[in-house]
Amino acid sequence: MMVRLVIALGALLLGGAVLAWGGAPALEAWLLPFHLVLGLVVGAIGALLVAHLLVEDWLAPPRPSLEALAWLAPLAALLALPLLLAPAALYPWAADPGLAEGPRAAWFSLPVFRLRVGLLLGALVLAALLLARPGAGRREARFALALWLPAGLLLAQDIVLSRDPAWFGSLQGTALVIEQASAALSLAVLAVLLRRGEDGMRGVDRALLVLATLTVWLWFVQFVVVWMADLPAEAAWYLRRGGAWAWLKAALVAILAAAILLALLPRPGPRRLGLVALLLLAQHIGHGLWLLRPEAPGGAPPLMVELVVAAGVLGLAWWWAALSARRRASARASDH
């Protein structure tokens, strides 16, 4: 408990430093690692829901790592504070309320935004508590599902997609949640492989294949809908990701295609499974950059600011997750 309090205090101090001295560039640098940490929480809870509701034995090896990632939820709630305290530096509609019109104006009003995000993060913390505790089963999973589904979809909208209010109520939120599940499962698989060299994870490669294919399909469907319907506001979102951003997207598509092809090959070994997981995780990180950075009101932050802030946020998250994993391993060892 004491170590977690130290980590929480470190998160508050780092966030306070960003707000007090970093300004808009540091807040922009904060958004991407926060998105990645929150995505691991949402994705890990989703994978654990599958394990509990469908009683999938193939999820047993990565399950302890998934529980540790899900229990990042309290830390993610603390890391959200800088975004909630200074949203005008990150979200154009917060700086200029006139950008959101009609029903969206009420949805994107600052008091409603802050209250909504706070409640959704609280729902994720409760869902993680229900699923990651010893003895959790289907009954707890049913309650967690009712919390996780709206929280995951709405947080994807509020934290990532709301930088352009035109994406209100699109398929992108669903696609992002599925991508987050693939990233969380990939990181859990890598943790198992690095720890034990486990090669008995039959079924995990199929799950990664399904998640990667669904991600590609949903993003493609969203693009086709915008193209065929000739929606100017949504088309402008894609046009802002031209030039160098288009090359990044092409590279991410190639990485995703390579992961899918590797997962399709028969008799996957631990090395190939690890490579698939690594590719999916790299794609998710790059895709977060592609989603967020073209919408940055002040442009990209200085590289040094980006590296320092990312190292701080991700370092705290790694410390918290590693502590959770060790405690759960000790508890299981004592039970046996």
pLDDT at 168: 65
pTM of model > 0.85: yes
Q: Say if residue 336's pLDDT is above 90.
A: no
Query: In the predicted model, what is the mean pLDDT of the chain?
Result: 88
Residue 266 lies in a domain: yes
Q: What is the pLDDT of residues 203-231, one digit of tens each?
A: 788 889 999 999 999 999 888 888 887 77
Place 299 in a pLDDT band, splitting at 50, 70 and 90.
confident
Q: Which two tokens stand for residue 195?
A: 């720890």
Q: Which of 7-21, 101-115, 143-157, 290-304 has the lowest mean pLDDT?
A: 101-115
pLDDT in tens, 269-289: 888 899 999 999 999 999 999
In a domain, 250, yes or no: yes
15 occurs within a structural domain: no
Question: What's the rounded Cα separation, in Å, for the pair 44 and 168?
Answer: 25
Is 69 in contact with 321 (CB distance < 8 Å)?
yes
- Whether 209 maps to a domain, the answer reads yes
Structure tokens that stand for 258 in this block: 């390579």
* 287-324 as b/e: b if 16+ CB within 10 A: bbbbbbbbbbeeeebeeebbebbbebbeebbebbbeeb
Cα 203 to the center of its chain, rounded Å: 23
Q: Is residue 222 part of a domain?
A: yes
Q: Residues with Cβ < 8 Å from 235, sequence gap 6 or more?
A: 226, 227
Give CA–CA dist 65/81, Å, rounded.
Answer: 26
Residue 143, pLDDT > 80, answer yes
- What is the domain extent for residue 304? 25-335
Domain total for the chain? 1
C-alpha closest to that of 150 among 191, 172, 121, 188: 121
| 220 within domain boundaries | yes
Residue 9 lies in a domain: no
The CATH number of residue 32's host domain is 1.20.1630
CB of 150 within 8 A of CB of 119? no
d(CA 319, CA 331): 18
DSSP state of 156: I
Mean pLDDT of all residues in 249-265? 93
Which residue, 124, 147, 142, 185, is CA-closest to 53? 142
The reply to whether 199 falls in a domain is yes
